[in-house]
Amino acid sequence: MCGIWALFGSDECLSVQCLSAMKIAHRGPDAFRFENVNGFTNCCFGFHRLAVVDQLYGMQPIRVKKFPYLWLCYNGEIYNFKQLQKQFGFDFQTLVDGEVILHLYSRGGIEQTASMLDGVFAFILLDTANRKVFLARDTYGVRPLFKVLTDDGFLGVCSEAKGLINLKHSTSLCSKVEPFLPGHYEVLDLKPSGKVASVELVKFHSCKDEPLHVACDTVEALPSGFDLETVKSNIRILFENAVRKRLMAHRRIGCLLSGGLDSSLVAAVLLKLMKEINVNYPLQTFAIGMENSPDLLAARKVAAHIGSEHHEVILNTEEGIQAIEEVIFSLETYDITTIRASIGMYLVSKYIRKKTDSVVIFSGEGSDELTQGYIYFHKAPSPEEAAEESERLLKELYLFDVLRADRTTAAHGLELRVPFLDHRFTSYYLSLPAELRIPKNGIEKYLLRLSFEDSNLLPKEILWRPKEAFSDGIASIKKSWFSILQDYIDQQVDDLLLEKAVEKYPFNPPKTKESYYYRQIFEKHYSGRSSWLPHYWMPRWVKATDPSARTLKHYKSATQE
């Protein structure tokens, strides 16, 4: 995990512009480099480093003797770099996983490069010999990337939008800053003046397509067919492989553990694999919640079962409320459910950074979207519509859960790893018949639970624990976290303000005081940037006025059963 930043064709003094690069310093607390591009005085790279792999030679932009005309700034982890090196006979100069991007590009161009990378990434690749700039981002946007491109060819690129919004340019303050789309690469021509012109934006991978890099995966061809035992076995094999490949790190590994199915499965498989490769430290797991909240109690049970070194962070209401503004600043969104869920994750990440030496943090993001884990999937009109909704949610992850997971951890210099969003695991799961993937017997994620039922990885009551939204599970059964927030915000927003909300905020107008409060804070830091959120996250097929699962009729806590 790190922060990348680059400018091409800047009219302003680069020493002034580079102040914007410091807005993302939290993403790389270990080192910073600012480097001009030879022959282009108005082009430069900025890089904030969190040293996780190759602590000696990992500074960026990466340049190697074999390709002196290539400059690479990337944020991410390429899990199959050693397999690619072996398959193509690449001669690496460093131990940095990202170096493989330079070799792949030199061998087969940008299309093959992006398609063959098994991992999470956002990168800027400059080819001065052919006068090209390339941008690319992984399938689910696990690693963030934003860009701004003016009509006269000034390009700014950054891991977070906050590193671009204050850039200066002769024509104006920078025009539209927007997220770079996941699963895409862009080709731009670099002119002698340092300015650029976009040539094409190409989608190189869809979540349903088996990725090209399967050809050099460590797990070979799986048994075909959709009989239940084969499917369950394949799910276990691919999920374990997804966790195993993410063990690549020279820093201590930890795991977020809410006690729900997803994080519990990740933690259990992670600890099992760490033992297999004789990692010489215990796995630290981290839970956050109010005293005796459902998440704390369940996480405690899981930690005892798997034998992790467990840490509990007790959330008090005042601390959570005080964190709202810094959370919204970190997130760059005003989405209601994203902010609610981010407060707990932000505070537990803060604890990890201050109190432990764990840096690489595993988490369960992506499972709800992939395996139809949201409560409202029980109301899907048909298996086919449920499958379509699952794909829609996966495509929008970069706006919601993946955004939350990245920003709340990166704000404290941690690197997040999300095995449920492994390319091969997700494409296999989405290839299964729609009927197999829907909730069954009143239980969401039925197929995933069933696949691990005989593994003894988790206690049965955790494996079959009903879905809790993270923002709900950290509070008590009696009073949800969203209710606590709403009670506080009710006192902060006047009724009259809410009545005039549509006039003040015509795009995505707030409909509740809570929503209005978040929007006010967002506009304070990112005025006029409301289009970053195309729509609020809300459940489908139900008449919901709030995104919390606890407002849906289907919801019942484990204590009420």
Distance CA 61, CA 443 (A): 48
Q: Is 2 a catalytic residue?
A: yes
**123 to each of 187, 244, 331, how far by Cα in Å?**
12, 24, 20
Can you say which residues are annotated as belonging to the binding site for L-glutamine? 97
Distance CA 178, CA 9 (A): 18
Contact 124, 133 (CB under 8 A): yes
For residue 483, the tally of other CB atoms under 10 A from its CB is 16
Distance CA 194, CA 192 (A): 5
Distance CA 187, CA 126 (A): 10
Residue 558, both tokens? 């484990």
List 289's β-bridge partners, or say none.
Answer: 314
Of the residues 2, 158, 174, 207, only one is catalytic, namely 2
Distance CA 400, CA 157 (A): 21
Nearest to 541 by CA among 389, 341, 384, 338: 389
Contact 300, 309 (CB under 8 A): no
The full 3-state SS of 272-314, as one line of letters, equals: HHHHHCCCCCCCEEEEEECCCCHHHHHHHHHHHHHCCEEEEEE
Distance CA 298, CA 462 (A): 7
- The DSSP call for residue 181 is P
Distance CA 25, CA 31 (A): 9
Q: Which residues contact 41 (CB under 8 A, 6 or more apart)?
A: 14, 194
**65 to each of 49, 59, 61, 144, how far by Cα in Å?**
22, 15, 13, 29
Distance CA 304, CA 106 (A): 50
Distance CA 15, CA 19 (A): 7
Nearest 5°: phi and psi at 389?
-65, -40
Can you say which residues are annotated as belonging to the binding site? 97, 256, 288, 363-364
Q: What is the dihedral of CA 497, 500, 506, 508, to 10 degrees?
A: 50
- The DSSP call for residue 73 is E
Active-site positions read: 2
